[in-house]
Amino acid sequence: MDRGSARPGRHRGHRVRIGLLTDPGAAAAVAAALEPDLSEVLAGEIDDSTEWVVTSRTCEIPLDDEGLVPLELLAQEHRERQEWDVMIVVTDLPRRVGTRPVATVVRGSARTGMVSLPGLGALGVRRRARRAVVHLVRALSGHEGHSDGEQPADIPRLSPLRHIDADEDTDAHLALVGLRGRLRLLAGMVRDNRPWRLVPHLSSATAAAAATGAYAVVTTTFWMMSNSLSSLRLLLISVVAIVAMATWLITYNHLWDRPPDKDARAKAVLYNAATVITMIFGVTCMYVLLYLAALLVALVLIDPNYFAAQLHRPVSFGTYLKLVWLASSVGIVAGALGSSLESEDAVRKATYGRRELERQRGRDST
């Protein structure tokens, strides 16, 4: 699918055609949001005398044998065919150069750059993507204004991004440095996994959690128990329940990376951390929805006078909240058992974004 936009008006300089080649899904959505005003942004940020013509194209971007985006091949297939002067590949695949995670890569010989969305973090992705595209276009169109080894002016001083010049072995790139850089990449990987999708995709687990939670709400034994527990103990129970379900989903469905190769093990630390956070975030979303549903059930079905008579004390809204708190925790534990009815492939699809799912399948096939 092709789209295009151009900066209107008269131009004293030449025309530069920019092509955005994107993965389907999140990358295509980001490119679609950038495209309408990108010509104006490039004129304002780089050169107002140049006519910037921006076109985007969405397709399945292939990977090479090493699991990397083949920029030279893509340039031959798309940039030359579409007659783009500069091509920017936007992908949701995490990228490394050597041991460093990166946000962008510049392949000057092919007049092609790449933006890795996970390297942009979880917040302000469109704003950061726009800045990354401007940085790449400036470098590839001959408007780069910094010397070798110097930080480009369009990179904020406090940013965890550092410009690394090209050498014999690597392309020029923006590397994510330090702890902040790795945390940004981790947050971007979790965002790409979209953990909030876990609830609708794990129907058996959700049904088991909801049924058990509803049963607990209307059972007097749970009324007595919740009334006797402190808020701190209820909080501890809920945390243990969430962690237990996340752990069960990871172990039962073999989502934990255990590569035999030493270099691969170093990369697996980041992937495993993203899996754990994705699961905990997704199960927490399930817990919140279960809590709200159970609270509605409790308020509708349990008469306050009958509730008070069973507890032998006056009840308040807080009494209902404590009951639902305990019921939701028990429901989440039941949801972990219910998830056993889901296929491993269904759990993987619910947990991972498209690119990470490809990586997982490639890992399992080796």
Kindly give, in sequence order, each residue whose CB lies less than 8 Å from that of residue 39, ignoring residues fewer than 6 positions away: 5, 6, 7, 52, 53, 54
Domain count, the chain: 2
Distance CA 216, CA 294 (A): 9
Given a contact cutoff of 8 angstroms between Cβ atoms, the answer to whether 118 and 189 are in contact is yes
The SS3 of residue 164 is: strand
Task: Say if residue 217 is in the same domain as residue 156.
Answer: no
Distance CA 109, CA 319 (A): 68
Cα–Cα distances in angstroms (integers) from residue 236 to residues 220, 223, 232, 239, 323, in the given order: 22, 18, 6, 5, 15
What pLDDT is stored for residue 130 in this prediction? 94
What pLDDT is stored for residue 153 in this prediction? 55
Task: Say if residue 226 is in the same domain as residue 163.
Answer: no
Task: Say if residue 329 is in the same domain as residue 352.
Answer: yes
Structure tokens at 211: 């049924």
Structure tokens at 246: 């996340």
Distance CA 128, CA 160 (A): 12
Kindly give, in sequence order, each residue whose CB lies less than 8 Å from that of residue 285, ignoring residues fewer than 6 positions away: 195, 196, 198, 199
Task: Say if residue 27 is in the same domain as residue 57.
Answer: yes
Single out the residue in 168, 187, 206 at which a domain terminates: 187
What pLDDT is stored for residue 96 in this prediction? 81
Name the residue among 29, 32, 55, 54 with its Cα closest to residue 41. 54
Distance CA 116, CA 91 (A): 5
Mean pLDDT by 10 residues, the chain (366 residues): 55 81 91 93 90 93 81 91 94 82 90 93 93 92 60 63 73 85 92 86 89 94 95 97 94 84 75 92 95 96 95 95 97 89 77 68 60
Instruction: Name the residue range of residue 276's domain.
Output: 195-365
Structure tokens at 245: 């379900």
User: pTM surpassing 0.95?
Assistant: no
Distance CA 152, CA 234 (A): 51
Given a contact cutoff of 8 angstroms between Cβ atoms, the answer to whether 135 and 41 are in contact is no
Task: Say if residue 127 is in the same domain as residue 251.
Answer: no
The model's pLDDT over 314-328, given as tens digits with 9 standing for 90+, comes to 999 999 999 999 999
Task: Say if residue 360 is in the same domain as residue 245.
Answer: yes
Kindly give, in sequence order, each residue whose CB lies less than 8 Å from that of residue 61, ignoring residues fewer than 6 positions away: 21, 22, 23, 69, 74, 89, 91
Single out the residue in 158, 187, 216 at which a domain terminates: 187
Task: Say if residue 110 is in the same domain as residue 228.
Answer: no
Single out the residue in 143, 169, 187 at which a domain terminates: 187
